């Protein structure tokens, strides 16, 4: 800052020289004081600027007004003032350095808990930013983007995306591969699937297990009357209902059949399956689920799988009865289950040619079967005394028997058309085979935990897995749901971690039921069938957990004695705890939620999604939240429920979207965790005739 120019004339040698000299010294002193004050102000406001040269002083000491600047003369008042100001600047710089150093040491010494709080705070800010940008994008698109979704055409009633046999045939798929699940070949259409004409809410469990409404499934009366196989028997009670009741004389074969299998294993009856280590069963081509329905009373959980069928679907009818089922096929892809998942595999006239493709289907059976597990095959091909056996059928039967030996399966027994094999419990059995005899073992790097529709492998998987534990060495059900310390260590988990998760879900289930009970029994008319029981019994049956984690929600429901079964879904973009879930005696599947779930419309009474929105928002997604919600609507039965549990910003954003699907939605605050909210939604029951009128 240069000194101001005083324009008073100065005449040399005049009597006013003394006065001029005094005025000059006074002016310089005032100017010096003013400059010092200005420098102090800037030093306090911009301490780092003091480290730089003062740009107000021109080069070579020449000021802007043409006068030379004062030199720094030691001992003069001006020089002392400048030294004082320099020390003040250095002091301020030192204070800033000490403050930054202290802040740095505080940051690196922060506790783990505090780091978690900071991370969660950052995560919430990140989520809020994404949501704000999403809201801005929604508003920029105008009101047309916020309108309600339209209803789908009538041919969407039983449509299952990713399963289009005719389109697959047109693409050149054959030899059974036309039943493969192929996603992305058809345009995504977000619309609301209406139920069929005369659709009725399913009867409550257990009545709904034995009697279903004819209009709810796609099947003809002729198919019902012609269904004569052991697992496909049913009859029309009247024009509206189909019965599967085992009390009828034509159904007592299922009980005898189950009893026969138990005896072939060496048990007294089917009630002893649990004591032999059997809890979960994969029923291939299950008919209409009668085998699993009978075993359910013995605490056995049977998962039905079958090909997609446009008419008379085994999977659709089984789900309508309130039994576990999903679309899956033995063709060219592995099943979406980890290795060593099931205690028993059952095939009663399931229609699979086990001798095809050099036995690769039997290798897939071996992959998903636990050590010591059982494979039950019922087929006319196994009856060597049958008079109708052709040469080709006999050849197929012999191939299966020989190939089973190469897989280290032991044939326990054969009665009539049924054979029971037991998978080896000893790993060294594979090394004791003759060289070149049977399939080789898969390499150590072979992925056996995440087989998300990967091509079938011609090698034996799971033999080198740490999860190789024979079923007879596992604790029996229901103790099996609580894995011991050594079993949890296989997944890098501590018992305390799982125990905390279990306690949290127990409290959550109590809260859910206290919220849902008055809504179900007060807000809606009584459903057809038996009298409504007192809450919380039989409110729901088919439950889908979209982000199952450890399976804690499933465990809490069973411990609370709810009459439900849970499809535990592990998203492919999250941690894979599906092997843990299967080892606990539950059923589940891997799935990518940007793709349609392999099931028919109107399948589940309750869809549960805890933390799913947080998981999906951080991914490079190929789909939108509306795509996800449209799929949930397809899966839900009319008057079905959805529970979202997530952070408050995500829940509020999801709530705005529910109006587009015509859902009734309520946000519920959670007292135990102020960072989370519940969003409880119900899908209305829209009747087709009402829409058409």
Q: What is the pLDDT of residues 253-297, one digit of tens each?
A: 888 999 999 999 999 999 999 999 999 999 999 988 999 999 999
The three-class DSSP label of residue 96 is helix
Give residues with Cβ within 8 angstroms of 384, minimum separation 6: 394, 397
What is the DSSP-derived secondary structure letter of residue 147?
S
Q: Is the peptide bond before 206 cis (omega within 30 degrees of 0)?
A: yes
> Contact 335/328 with Cβ under 8 angstroms?
yes
pLDDT at 177 over 90: no
Q: How far apart are CA 597 and CA 634, in angstroms?
A: 10
CA–CA gap between residue 434 and residue 60 (Å, rounded):
98
pLDDT in tens, 78-137: 566 677 778 877 877 787 787 777 656 655 554 444 444 444 444 454 454 444 444 444
How is the chain split into domains, by residue range?
A: 251-432, 479-523+533-683
Q: For residues 118 and 111, is the Cβ–Cβ distance under 8 A?
A: no
Q: Is the pLDDT of residue 42 over 90?
A: no
Q: What is the dihedral angle through the alpha carbons of 444, 448, 454, 456, rounded to the nearest 10 degrees? A: 80
Is 479-523+533-683 the same fold as 251-432? yes
Distance CA 326, CA 316 (A): 8
> Is the separation of the CB atoms in 442 and 465 below 8 Å?
no
DSSP secondary structure code for residue 336 in this structure: S
Integer-rounded Cα radius of gyration of the chain: 38
CATH 3.40.50.150 given to domain 479-523+533-683: yes
d(CA 585, CA 462): 18
375 with 369: CB under 8 angstroms? Answer: yes
What's the sign of the alpha-carbon dihedral 337, 340, 346, 349? positive
Report the Cα–Cα distance between both ends of the chain, in Å, rounded.
86
Residue 138 reports pLDDT greater than 50: no
Position 521 scores a pLDDT of: 57
Which residue has better confidence, 328 or 5? 328
> Domain 251-432 is classified in which CATH homologous superfamily?
Vaccinia Virus protein VP39 (3.40.50.150)
Cite the beta strand spans of 91-205 per DSSP E.
none
pLDDT of residue 86: 80
Token pair listed for 280: 């979960």
Per-residue b/e over 353-392, b at no fewer than 16 CB within 10 Å?
Answer: ebbebebbbbbbbbbbbbbbbbbbbbbebbbeeeeeeeee
Q: Which residues contact 572 (CB under 8 A, 6 or more apart)?
A: 450, 452, 590, 591, 592
- Reported as a single tens digit per residue, the pLDDT across 303-330 is 999 999 888 889 999 999 999 999 998 8
Q: What distances in angstroms separate CA 499 from CA 485, 512, 553, 554, 574, one per listed residue?
A: 11, 20, 13, 14, 21
Greatest mean pLDDT among 18-22, 83-87, 144-148, 377-381 lies in 377-381
């Amino acid at each position: 800052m240069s000194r101001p120019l005083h324009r008073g004339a100065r005449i040399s040698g005049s009597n006013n020289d003394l006065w001029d000299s005094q005025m000059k010294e006074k002016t310089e002193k005032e100017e010096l004081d003013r400059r010092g004050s200005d420098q102090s102000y800037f030093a306090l406001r911009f301490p780092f600027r003091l480290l730089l040269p003062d740009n107000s002083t021109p080069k070579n000491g020449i000021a802007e007004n043409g006068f030379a600047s004062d030199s720094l003369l030691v001992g003069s008042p001006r020089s002392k003032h400048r030294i004082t100001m320099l020390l003040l600047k250095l002091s301020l710089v030192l204070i800033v350095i000490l403050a930054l150093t202290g802040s740095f040491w505080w940051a690196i010494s922060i506790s783990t808990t505090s780091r978690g709080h900071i991370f969660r705070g950052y995560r919430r800010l990140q989520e809020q930013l994404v949501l704000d940008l999403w809201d801005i994008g929604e508003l920029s698109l105008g009101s047309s983007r916020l309108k309600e979704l339209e209803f789908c055409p009538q041919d969407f009633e039983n449509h299952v995306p990713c399963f289009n046999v005719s389109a697959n045939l047109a693409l050149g798929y054959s030899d059974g591969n036309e039943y493969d699940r192929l996603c992305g070949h058809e345009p995504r259409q977000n619309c609301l699937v209406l139920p069929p004409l005369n659709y009725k809410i399913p009867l409550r469990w257990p009545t709904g297990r034995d009697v279903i409404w004819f209009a709810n499934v796609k099947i003809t009366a002729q198919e019902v009357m012609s269904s004569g196989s052991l697992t496909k028997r049913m009859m029309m009670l009247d024009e509206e209902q189909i019965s599967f009741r085992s009390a009828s004389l034509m159904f007592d074969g299922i009980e005898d059949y189950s009893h026969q299998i138990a005896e072939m294993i060496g048990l007294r009856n089917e009630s002893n399956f649990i004591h032999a280590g059997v809890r979960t069963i994969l029923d291939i081509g299950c008919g209409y689920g009668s085998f699993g329905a009978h075993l359910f009373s013995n605490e056995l959980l049977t998962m039905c799988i079958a090909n997609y069928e446009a008419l008379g679907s085994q999977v659709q009818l089984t789900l309508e009865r309130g039994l576990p089922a999903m679309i899956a096929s033995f063709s060219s892809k592995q099943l979406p289950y980890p290795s060593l998942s099931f205690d028993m595999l059952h095939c009663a006239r399931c229609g699979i040619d086990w001798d095809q493709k050099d036995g690769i289907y039997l290798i897939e059976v071996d992959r998903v079967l636990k050590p010591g597990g059982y494979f039950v095959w019922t087929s006319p091909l196994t009856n060597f005394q049958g008079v109708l056996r052709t040469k080709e059928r006999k050849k197929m039967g012999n191939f299966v028997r020989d190939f089973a030996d190469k897989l280290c399966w032991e044939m326990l027994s054969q009665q009539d058309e049924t054979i029971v094999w037991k998978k080896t419990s000893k790993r060294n059995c594979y090394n004791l085979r003759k060289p070149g005899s049977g399939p080789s073992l898969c390499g150590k790097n072979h992925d056996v935990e995440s087989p998300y529709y990967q091509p079938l492998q011609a090698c034996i998987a799971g033999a080198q897995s740490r999860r190789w534990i024979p079923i007879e060495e596992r604790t029996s059900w229901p103790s099996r749901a609580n894995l011991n310390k050594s079993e949890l260590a296989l997944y890098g988990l501590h018992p305390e971690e799982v125990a905390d998760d279990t306690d949290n879900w127990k409290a959550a289930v109590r809260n859910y039921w206290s919220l849902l009970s008055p809504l179900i029994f007060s807000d809606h008319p009584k459903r057809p069938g038996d009298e409504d029981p007192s809450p919380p019994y039989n409110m729901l049956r088919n439950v889908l957990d979209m982000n199952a984690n450890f399976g804690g929600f499933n465990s809490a429901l069973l411990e609370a004695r709810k009459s439900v079964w849970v499809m535990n879904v592990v998203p492919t973009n999250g941690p894979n705890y599906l092997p843990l879930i299967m080892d606990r005696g539950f059923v589940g599947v891997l799935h990518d939620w940007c793709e349609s779930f392999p099931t028919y419309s109107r399948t589940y009474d309750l869809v549960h999604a805890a933390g799913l929105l947080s998981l999906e928002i951080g991914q490079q997604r190929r789909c939108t939240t509306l795509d996800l919600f449209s799929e949930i609507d397809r899966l839900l039965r009319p008057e079905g429920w959805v529970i979202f549990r997530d952070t408050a910003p995500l829940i509020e954003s999801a709530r705005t979207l529910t109006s587009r699907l015509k859902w009734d939605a309520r946000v519920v605050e959670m007292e135990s965790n102020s960072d989370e909210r519940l969003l409880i939604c119900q899908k209305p029951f829209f009747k087709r005739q009402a829409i058409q009128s």
